[in-house]
Structure 1
Amino acid sequence: MSVRRKSALVLLVAMLTLLTAACGNKGKDTEKLTTVKFSEVIRSIFYAPHYVAMSKGFFEEQGLNVDMNTAQGSDKGAAALIAGTADISMVGPETSIYIYNQKGDKILKVFHQLTSKDGSFLLSREKLDDFKWSDVQGKTIIGWRPGSAPQMVMNSTLIKEQVKDAEVITNIASPAMAGAFTSGQGDFIQLFEPVASTLVKEGKAFYAASLGEAFGPFPETSYVATSDFIEDHPEIIQKFSNAVAEGAQWLTTASNDEIAEALTPFFEGTPEDLIIQSIERYKSQDTWPTNPEMTQAQFDTLQNVLIENGVLKSEEKIANMEEIVDMSFVKNIGKTD
Structure 2
Amino acid sequence: MMVTMKRSAVVMISMMMLLFAAACGSGGTNETATTNTPAPATEETTSPPANETGAEAAPQEITTVKFSEVIRSIFYAPHYVAMSKGFFEEEGLNVDMNTSQGSDKGAAALLAGTADISLVGPETAIFIHNQEGNKKLKIFYQLTMKDGSFLLSRTKADSFKWSDLSGKTVISWRPGSAPQMVFSSTLKQEGVADANVITNIAAPAMAAAFTGGQGDYIQVFEPLASTLINEGKAYYAASMGETFGSFPETSYVATSEYIEKNPAVIQKFVNAVAKGREWLNTASDDEIAEALAPFFEGTSKELIIQSVNRYKQQDTWPAKPELTAEAFEKLQGVLIENGVLKPEQKIANMTDVVDMTFVGKIGQ
Aligned-partner Cα distance in 2 for 1:159–1:110: 28
Q: Does 1:93 align with 2:122?
A: yes
Structure 1, 99-108 or 46-55: larger mean CA deviation: 99-108
Secondary structure at the counterpart of residue 89 of structure 1: strand
| 1:308-323 to 2 correspondences below 5 Å | 308-323=337-352
| Counterpart residue type for residue 277 of structure 2 | A
1:195-248: CA deviations, max 9, x gaps?
Answer: 110011111111100000110000000000000000010011000000000000
Q: 1:24 to 1:54 in 2, by over 3 A?
A: closer
Matches of 2:133 and 2:187 in 1, distance apart?
A: 34
Match of 1:259 among 284, 288, 294: 288
Q: Using the alignment, how far apart are the partners of 1:305 and 1:104 within structure 2?
A: 24
Aligned partner (choices 62, 68, 72) of residue 43 of structure 1: 72
Distance, in Å, in 1 between the alignment partners of 2:205 and 2:315 is 28
The one of 188, 192, 208 equivalent to 1:179 is 208
CA distance in 2, matches of 1:239, 1:168: 42
Q: Would you say 1:227 and 2:256 are equivalent positions? A: yes
1:129 aligns with 2:161: no
- Runs of 4+ in structure 1 over 3 Å off: 23-26, 28-31
Letter in 2 for 1:48: A
Residues 155-183 of structure 1 show CA distances to partners (whole Å, capped at 9, x for unaligned) of 00000000011121111111111111111
Question: What SS is found at the alignment partner of 1:76?
Answer: helix
How many Å separate the matches in 2 of 1:287 and 1:24?
38
Partner of residue 284, structure 1: 313
Equivalence map 1:143-292=2 (5 Å): 143-292=172-321
Assess if the C-alpha contact under 8 Å between 2:60 and 2:92 holds in 1: no
| Letter aligned with residue 44 of structure 1 | S
Structure 2: how far apart are the matches of 1:196 and 1:253?
25
Q: How many residues align?
A: 312
Distance, in Å, in 1 between the alignment partners of 2:111 and 2:199 is 25
Query: CA–CA distance in 1 between the matches of 2:316 and 2:248?
Result: 10
Q: Secondary structure at the match of 1:113?
A: strand
Normalised TM-score (structure 1): 0.90
Residue of structure 1 equivalent to 2:106: 77
Q: How much has 1:145 moved relative to structure 2?
A: 1.5
**Structure 2: 5+ residue runs without aligned partners?**
1-45, 50-56
SS of 1:90's equivalent in the other structure is strand
Alignment deviations for residues 274-331 of structure 1 (CA, whole Å, 9 cap, x no partner): 1111111100110000000100000000000001001111111000000000000000
**Unaligned 5+ residue runs, structure 1?**
1-22
State the alpha-carbon separation in 2 of the partners of residues 153 and 216 from structure 1: 10
Aligned to 2:143: 114
Task: Using the TM superposition, give the Cα deviation of residue 31 of structure 1 relative to its aligned residue in structure 2, in angstroms.
Answer: 7.9
Give me the whole-angstrom Cα distance separating, in 2, the residues matched to 1:197 and 1:24.
42
Deviation of residue 24 (structure 1)? 6.2
CA pair 313-292 structure 1, distance change in 2 beyond 3 A? same
Aligned to 1:300: 329
- Report which of the two has the higher share of helix: 1
CA distance in 2: counterparts of 1:120 and 1:279, whole angstroms: 13
Identity %: 72
Which secondary structure state, in structure 2, belongs to the residue aligned with residue 114 of structure 1? strand
3-state SS of the aligned residue for 1:117?
coil
Residues of 1 paired with 2:130 and 2:153: CA distance? 38
Contact residue 47 and residue 59 of structure 2 kept, 8 A: no
**Aligned-partner residue type, residue 317 of structure 1:** K
Q: Which amino acid aligns with 1:142?
A: I
Deviation track 1:256-277 (CA, whole Å, cap 9, x = no partner) reads 0100010001001101111111
AA matched with 1:284: Q
Q: How well do the aligned residues superpose, as a CA RMSD in angstroms?
A: 1.4
Quick one: distance in 1 between partners of 2:59 and 2:238?
46
Deviation at 1:32, TM superposition (A): 2.4
Question: C-alpha separation between the residues in 1 aligned to 2:161 and 2:326?
Answer: 29
Q: Which residue in 2 is equivalent to 1:13?
A: none
Structure 1 position 102 matched with structure 2 position 136:
no
| Distance (Å, rounded) in 1 between the aligned partners of 2:284 and 2:320 | 22
When normalised by structure 2's length, the TM-score is 0.84
In 1, Cα distance between equivalents of 2:130 and 2:196 = 30
Question: Greater shift after overlay, 206-215 or 170-179?
Answer: 170-179
